[in-house]
Amino acid sequence: MASLFKDPSKLSVYRDRRFNGTQEEFEHALKTSTTVYIGNMSFYTTEEQVYELLSRVGEIKKIIMGLDKNTKTPCGFCFVLFYSRDDTEDAVKYMSGTILDDRPIRVDFDWGFHEGRQWGRGRSGGQVRDEYRTDYDPDILLHDYPVVCFIGGYGKLVQKE
Q: Does 128 bind ligand GTA (CB under 6 A)?
A: yes
Count of residues in contact with ligand GTA, rule CB under 6 A = 21
Q: Does 129 bind ligand GTA (CB under 6 A)?
A: yes
Q: Does 27 bind ligand GTA (CB under 6 A)?
A: no
Backbone angles phi, psi at 71, to 5 degrees: -90, -15
Residue-by-residue DSSP string for 23-85: HHHHHHHHHH--EEEEES--TT--HHHHHHHHTTTS-EEEEEEEE-TTT-SEEEEEEEEES-H
Residues from 81 through 120 that contact ligand GTA (CB under 6 A): 108, 110, 117, 120
User: Exposed (0-12), middle (13-18) or buried (19+): which is 74, by Cβ within 10 Å?
Assistant: buried
Q: Does 127 bind ligand GTA (CB under 6 A)?
A: yes
Q: Is residue 89 helix, strand or coil?
A: helix
Is the Cβ of residue 59 or residue 135 nearer to ligand GTA in the bound state? 135
User: Which residue ranges make up the site for ligand GTA (CB under 6 A)?
Assistant: 12, 14, 16-17, 37, 39, 66, 77, 108, 110, 117, 120-122, 127-129, 132, 135, 137, 140
